[in-house]
Amino acid sequence: MYAIEVDNVTKIYGKGDTAVTAISHASFQVRPGELVAILGPSGSGKTTLLTAIGLINEPTHGRIIVDGVTVADDGWVPGLDLKRIRREKLGFIFQAHNLIPFLTALENVMVALEINKFPSGEAKGRAEQLLKSLNLGHRLGSYPMALSGGEAQRVAIARALANKPRVILADEPTAALDTENGKNVMALLKSLAVENHSAILVVTHDHRMVEGFDRIFEVRDGFIIRETRGAG
């Protein structure tokens, strides 16, 4: 079973003369444990594709299946609790880490677990363990503003992993980092994909960051123009 199945997905913004097609007939699948990049310049539609898979942006046409659940079939499937699916099956990593500024590193990870109804004590233990595994054991009580860019992004990764999601969606996760930290984050994502058997879909404009990815989809003007199989 695929972790993500995108079948002929189109997203059109607006109507009539002002309609803009952001994605056109995109189709691909991602297996669990696979690290896949969507590479393209700004405005190519890669984030629109990511948000459609992330159940944020309703596709106009086509079908999306996440971990075996058909979530979109020419629009959202009626009656589905998209929030619950997002909570239980998806993890998000953002360009600007998006940690909650008034929560410590530990609390930022805990909040994702508590939203998913983990008891506070259990959430704390699991968050501590995750942060320690990402070499952030000494930063548990630090607020985001006291963390370096790389540390903050690792906390964000820990938060995305907290609920052991089947799919992790990362939107330009290295954009705010220097090259070395960016490569470290990408390496971390790759190891996590293998260890956790999660499908990781990374959107980026930086082709230097996709080394070692299993597959790379290049997007231009809403079309997937090329699929490259990586060395990974």
Partner 1 sequence: MNLAIRDIRFHRGRFILTSIGLGLLLGVVMSMGGIYRGLFADALAVLHSTKADLWVVQKDTNGPFAESSRIPEDIKYRIKSVPGVAEASPLSFQTIQIERQGKPFRFFLIGYDLRGIGGPPAILAGRNIRQKHYEMVVAKAMKMALGEKIRLGLHEYTVVGITGKVVSSSGDPAAYVSLADAQEIQFKKDNDAIRNNRERVAADLDRMQNLTQAQAQLLQRNVSDLTESTHTVNTVVARLAPGASLYEVQQRIERWNHYRAISDEGQTKILTKGMIEKARMQLGLFRIILLVISAVIISLIIYTSTLDKIRVIATLKLIGSQNRVIIGMILQQSLLMGVIAYAVGYALISLTYEKFPRRIVLEAFDLQVLFAIVVVICTVSSFVGIRKALKVEPAEALGG
Positions in the binding site for partner 1 (CB under 8 A): 47, 50-51, 54, 56-57, 83-84, 86-88, 90, 92, 94-96, 98, 100-103, 107, 110-112, 114-116, 120, 143, 159, 171-172, 175-176
Number of H helices, E strands in the chain: 6, 10
For every residue of 92-139, DSSP letters joined together read EE-TT----TTS-HHHHHHHHHHHTT--HHHHHHHHHHHHHHTT-GGG
Q: Which is nearer to partner 1, 61 or 87 (CB)?
A: 87
DSSP state, residue 153 = H
Q: Give the residue among 164, 183, 144 at the shortest CA–CA distance from 88.
A: 164
- Nearest distance in Å: CB 161, partner 1: 12
Q: Which is nearer to partner 1, 103 or 188 (CB)?
A: 103
Backbone phi and psi for residue 144, each to the nearest 5 degrees, phi listed first: -50, -35
Q: Give the residue among 66, 57, 59 at the shortest CA–CA distance from 29.
A: 66
- Nearest distance in Å: CB 87, partner 1: 3
Dist. CA 6–CA 90, nearest whole Å: 15
Dist. CA 106–CA 70, nearest whole Å: 34
- Nearest distance in Å: CB 52, partner 1: 10
- Nearest distance in Å: CB 55, partner 1: 9
- Nearest distance in Å: CB 190, partner 1: 22
Among positive and negative, which fits the CA dihedral 125, 195, 184, 172?
negative
Residue 89 amino acid letter:
K
Q: Which is nearer to partner 1, 71 or 214 (CB)?
A: 71
Q: Which is nearer to partner 1, 115 or 187 (CB)?
A: 115
- Nearest distance in Å: CB 232, partner 1: 26
Q: Which is nearer to partner 1, 100 or 225 (CB)?
A: 100
Q: Which is nearer to partner 1, 24 or 95 (CB)?
A: 95
